[in-house]
Amino acid sequence: MSAVAIDEPVDRATTEAGQALHGLTRLRLAGPLTAATAPQLRARIRDVLEHGHPRVVVDLQAVTGLDAAGLAVLLDARRMLLAQAGGTLVLRANGIVCRALKETGTIAAFALSHGSGM
Amino acid sequence: MNAVEHPGADAPSQSGPRARPAEQGVVISRGTRVYLRTMVPQDLEHLSAWVEDPFLERMVGSEFLHSYKHVWDKSPAFYESVLTDPTQVALVIEAYRGWTKPVGVVRLFNIHLLEGYAFLETILTDMRAMKRGFGIEAAKLIAYYGMDVLGLRRLEAKVYEYNVLSMNSLRRNGFRQEGVLRQAGYDGERYWDLVIFGILKDEIEAVRRRDKVYLPLDPSEGNGREPT
């Protein structure tokens, strides 16, 4: 039910995508990203920022649903990260997430990674 | 977030007996009389009953309920469709005491996150709940949520011209009448005007500052829509 955020290091030694995303903190989510779970991601983003890591890739490959609250937290994360010097947010989106971004006209707001690695 | 720090008179105490056997879903916001929680699959049972209520159909004319009944044919898949809709947030309204089931649904829909606006719909399914101001508080809580969490700066609502109670509820929450869509609604027998209400972020903030304590409501006031 709940989206789970797991921090994992990018395996840059073995994957092309990993090399491209070297230096980014990775947050991997699973399950629905909705009003019920979005606060968890917001808290994780704040936590990452407090630890001085403004370059983040959010892996949404295992996300099974995205409502307006989930989308809002992604936009908020983008705003918070880009406000930092050198800040970056990259989304690794699946079909569900891509459809939601397109439907809401927000896809252009995000940098997307389509690499199969990581 | 917009959760009220101190539970009001209707809120259950931490150690006292609970009015409900278990709190389903995730609580998003708490007021003094009601709280809002996320939908769970079991809520479809309530929706199934509500969509058959002709009073609700006439007073609210909800696309949400209409879609569940006529588009989804009361399919369980409706729950997933709501959960994965990036243009809405639908929350269930629960009263703290005296009710054995949810009292309604409040939702923000047609949410435009980049532009910062959305539409508000409040569906109260029990006349006793309406008279206790549960709808007013539920709308207030989701308005705060829309502003604080979704980053919205404007909300809109449409009301049938004969639904004076809803119009007064919106006004109590600081909404202003912005216009009338002439004969834009149809109740199966005749066409009715739809009255458009709107509220901006600073006006929502003003309501929040004003309403530190919710007082008992007066009897229905005013005469519905304003002259245009």
Query: Cα dihedral sign for A34, A36, A40, A42?
Result: positive
Best CA proximity match to B104, nearest among B185, B169, B161, B153: B169
Contact with chain A for residue B87, Cβ under 8 A: yes
Of A37, A39, A71, the CB nearest to B86: A71
| Chain A residue whose CA is closest to B114 | A106
A/B interface, count of CB pairs below 8 Å: 69
Query: Cα dihedral sign for B15, B16, B17, B23?
Result: negative
In the predicted model, residues of chain A with pLDDT beneath 50 are 1-2, 4, 6, 9-19, 117-118
Residues of chain B contacting A102 with CB distance shorter than 8 Å: none
A92 - beta bridge partners? A59
A6 - beta bridge partners? A28
Cβ neighbours of B209 (radius 10 Å): 8
Best CA proximity match to A92, nearest among A59, A48, A44, A53: A59
Q: For chain A, what percentages of helix, strand and coil (3-state, to nearest 5) are there? A: 40, 25, 35
* Phi, psi (degrees; rounded to nearest 5) at B127: -60, -35
pTM, entire model: 0.82
Output the six-digit token pair for B159. 């009301």
| pLDDT per residue as tens digits for the range A88-106 | 999 999 999 999 999 999 9
Residues of chain B contacting A109 with CB distance shorter than 8 Å: 114
Measured between alpha carbons, how far is residue B125 from residues A89, A100, B95, B160 in Å? Answer: 43, 31, 12, 17
Each residue's pLDDT expressed in tens, for chain B with a length of 228 residues: 333 223 344 444 444 334 454 558 899 999 999 999 999 999 999 999 888 888 877 777 788 888 898 889 899 999 999 988 999 999 999 998 888 899 999 999 999 999 999 999 999 988 788 788 899 999 999 999 999 999 999 999 999 999 998 999 999 999 999 999 999 988 778 999 999 999 999 999 999 888 765 444 444 444 556 665
Contact with chain B for residue A72, Cβ under 8 A: yes
Report yes or no: B11 and B49 within 8 Å, Cβ to Cβ: no
ipTM score assigned to the predicted complex: 0.81
Contact with chain A for residue B83, Cβ under 8 A: yes
